[in-house]
A and B are shown apart, each in its own frame.
Chain A
Amino acid sequence: MRINCPFCGTRGNEEFTVLGAADPVRPDADAPVPDWVAYAHARENPRGPHRDLWQHQHGCRAWLVVERDTLTHAVIAVRPARDA
Chain B
Amino acid sequence: MDYSIFGLLKNALTGNRLWAPVWRDPAPKQRYDTLIVGGGGHGLATAYYLAKEHGITDVAVLEKGYIGSGNVGRNTTIIRSNYLLPANTHFYEKSLQLWEGLEQDLNYNAMVSQRGVLNLFHSDAQRDAYARRGNAMRLAGVDADLLDAVTVRAMVPGIEMQDARFPVKGGLLQQRGGTVRHDAVAWGYARAADRRGADILQNTEVTGIRVEAGRVLGVETTRGFIGARRIGLAAAGHSSRVAAMAGLRLPIESHVLQAFVSEAVKPLLDTVVTFGAGHFYVSQSDKGGLVFGGDIDGYNSYAQRGSLPVVEEVMECAVTLFPAFSRLRYLRQWGGVMDMSMDGSPIIDRTPVEGLFLNCGWCYGGFKATPASGWCFAHTIATGQPHPLNAAFRLDRFATGAVLDEKGAGARPNLH
Question: Hey, which bits of chain A sit against chain B, CB under 8 A?
Answer: 1, 12-14, 17-21, 33-34, 37-38, 40-47, 50, 52, 54, 68, 70-73
Contacts and interface: CB of A to CB of B under 8 A. Distances in A.
Contacts of B399: 33-34, 37
A2 B369 CA distance: 35
A44 B411 CA distance: 15
A73 B342 CA distance: 22
B254 interface: yes
Query: Nearest 5 pairs between A and B by C-beta?
Result: A45-B240, A14-B309, A41-B251, A41-B398, A42-B249
Instruction: Tell me if B's interface is mostly helix, strand, loop or mixed.
Output: mixed
Contact of B251 (A34, A43, A72): A43
B301 interface: yes
A21 B398 contact: no
Contact of A68 (B299, B307, B398): B299
B307 A1 contact: yes
A45 B253 contact: yes
Interface centre among A14, A17, A47 (most CB of B within 10 A): A47
Interface string B97-111: 000000000000000
A70 B302 contact: yes
Interface in B386-416: 398-399, 411-414
Given A13-B309, A52-B299, A70-B303, A43 B252 contact: yes
Q: Which of A19, A40, A73 has most B Cβ within 10 Å?
A: A73
A21 B253 CA distance: 9
Interface in B293-324: 298-303, 305, 307-309
Interface string B334-360: 000000001000000000000000000
A47 B302 contact: yes
B264 interface: no
A41 B307 contact: no
A70 B301 contact: yes
